């Protein structure tokens, strides 16, 4: 239990602070805070110092008279659990302290905190058994994610290539807020709206000649599924049987059944083998770019490729 002797940042000697000791122990700690004037500032600074050192915090125990507004501010702004309150004792003896502590902080309250908590969420691409608890993110700022335990993480993958302009980018936030205040969602079958029309028109300015329409989908896997349906549907409506799909070996296009079919085989999609359909060709090798292992009788309806960029 911390505090005492002035707080976390008080030196024990010329080179060691109280917080250094807690960091070495790596044990969960309880922050003890007075309910007197100044406790909000002092408690929040202590919580920040603990999280910067990645020291787990069980919660805050308050000492003194009841000030619900102060206690709520510390717990809500600090993101910590309220454990209870210990009144000022007179006389202060080991007996009165033991009785008051037992009354204010039942052992069962601490036992429930030490039990492993589980989440009802099934996370994608995650081995839940060995990884256990997920890293909880509380806010994003530019290229950084801030976790509940005080860490700042560089989001080098742009949260799966979605946040390419950074988290909470002001122009994007303002545009989302403005649009949500006008129109949030409509069925897109038979209806349209100006933002979608504008985005589609701008995309066509970048597209090769002959591509005249835009189909919006909600994810990469869904876009692959839609493209396959469009290609095969084209040949069907033209009265031609061209149903085979050609892809490069070792490719990846998503994790729905159709997207897995046009991707590489492996342990992660082995269970769905009977459902997968594809004809693969070797990845081009220098000097053998035109080689194909396709059989002549295959009626190819489409090929699936992902553009690559190369910066020498």
Q: Which candidate, 36, 59, 23, places its Cα nearest to that of 8?
A: 23
Over residues 235-246, the mean pLDDT reads: 88
Over residues 65-75, the mean pLDDT reads: 82
Burial of 235 (0-12, 13-18, 19+ CB in 10 A): middle
Query: Is the pLDDT assigned to residue 4 strictly greater than 60?
Result: no
Contact in structure between 100 and 82 (CB atoms under 8 Å)? no
Q: Which CATH architecture has domain 18-110?
A: 3-Layer(aba) Sandwich (3.40)
Looking at residue 298, its pLDDT comes to 55
Q: Residues with Cβ < 8 Å from 246, sequence gap 6 or more?
A: 278, 279, 280, 281, 294, 300, 302, 303, 304
Q: Higher-confidence residue: 13 or 165?
A: 165
Burial 144-153 (b: 16+ CB within 10 A, else e): ebbeebbeee
Query: Is the pLDDT assigned to residue 56 strictly greater than 50?
Result: yes
Domain boundaries, the chain: 18-110, 136-184, 217-304
Query: Is the pLDDT assigned to residue 70 strictly greater than 80?
Result: yes
Looking at residue 45, its pLDDT comes to 87
Looking at residue 193, its pLDDT comes to 95
Quote the percentage of the chain above a pLDDT of 70. Answer: 82
Instruction: Point out the least confidently predicted range of 70-79, 182-191, 215-224.
Output: 70-79
Over residues 280-287, the mean pLDDT reads: 71
Contact in structure between 251 and 262 (CB atoms under 8 Å)? yes
Looking at residue 241, its pLDDT comes to 85
For 94-144, how does the pLDDT look when each residue is reduced to its tens digit (9 = 90+)?
A: 888 777 777 776 665 555 444 445 678 888 877 765 566 788 898 999 999
Whole-angstrom Cα distance, residue 123 to residue 157? 17
Helix pair 68-78, 39-52: axis angle to 10 deg:
20
Over residues 151-180, the mean pLDDT reads: 90
Query: Is the pLDDT assigned to residue 310 strictly greater than 60?
Result: no
Question: Which of 93-107, 131-145, 224-238, 295-309 reaches the highest mean pLDDT?
Answer: 224-238
Question: Which of 80-89, 127-136, 220-229, 246-255 reaches the highest mean pLDDT?
Answer: 220-229
Contact in structure between 221 and 237 (CB atoms under 8 Å)? no
Quote the percentage of the chain above a pLDDT of 90. Answer: 25
Looking at residue 166, its pLDDT comes to 93
Instruction: Point out the least confidently predicted range of 1-5, 38-42, 231-235.
Output: 1-5
- Look at strands 144-147 and 137-141 and give their pairing: antiparallel
Average pLDDT, the chain: 80
């Amino acid at each position: 239990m911390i505090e005492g002797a002035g707080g976390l940042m008080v030196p024990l000697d010329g080179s060691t602070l109280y917080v250094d000791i807690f960091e070495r122990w790596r044990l969960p700690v309880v922050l003890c805070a007075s309910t007197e004037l100044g406790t909000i500032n002092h408690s929040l600074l202590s919580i920040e110092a603990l999280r910067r050192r990645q020291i787990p915090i069980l919660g805050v125990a308050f000492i003194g008279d009841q000030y619900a507004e102060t206690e709520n501010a510390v717990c809500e702004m600090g993101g910590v659990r309220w454990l209870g309150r210990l009144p000022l004792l007179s006389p202060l003896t080991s007996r009165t302290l033991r009785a008051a502590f037992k009354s204010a902080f039942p052992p069962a309250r601490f036992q429930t905190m030490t039990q492993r908590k589980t989440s009802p969420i099934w996370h994608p691409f995650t081995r839940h058994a060995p990884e256990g608890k997920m890293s909880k993110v509380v806010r994003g700022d530019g290229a950084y994610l801030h976790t509940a335990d005080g860490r700042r993480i560089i989001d080098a993958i742009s949260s799966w290539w979605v946040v390419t302009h950074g988290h909470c980018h002001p122009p994007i936030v303002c545009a989302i807020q403005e649009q949500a205040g006008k129109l949030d969602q409509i069925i897109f079958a038979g209806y349209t709206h100006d933002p979608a029309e504008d985005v589609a028109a701008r995309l066509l300015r970048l597209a090769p000649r002959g591509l005249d329409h835009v189909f919006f989908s909600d994810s990469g896997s869904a876009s692959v599924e839609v493209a396959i349906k469009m290609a095969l549907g084209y040949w069907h409506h033209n009265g031609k049987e061209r149903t085979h799909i050609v892809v490069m070996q070792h490719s990846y296009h998503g994790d729905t059944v159709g997207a897995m079919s046009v991707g590489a085989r492996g342990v992660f999609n082995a269970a769905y083998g009977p459902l997968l359909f594809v004809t693969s060709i070797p990845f081009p090798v220098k000097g053998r770019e035109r080689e194909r292992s396709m059989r002549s009788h295959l009626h190819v309806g489409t090929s699936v490729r992902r553009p690559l960029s190369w910066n020498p």
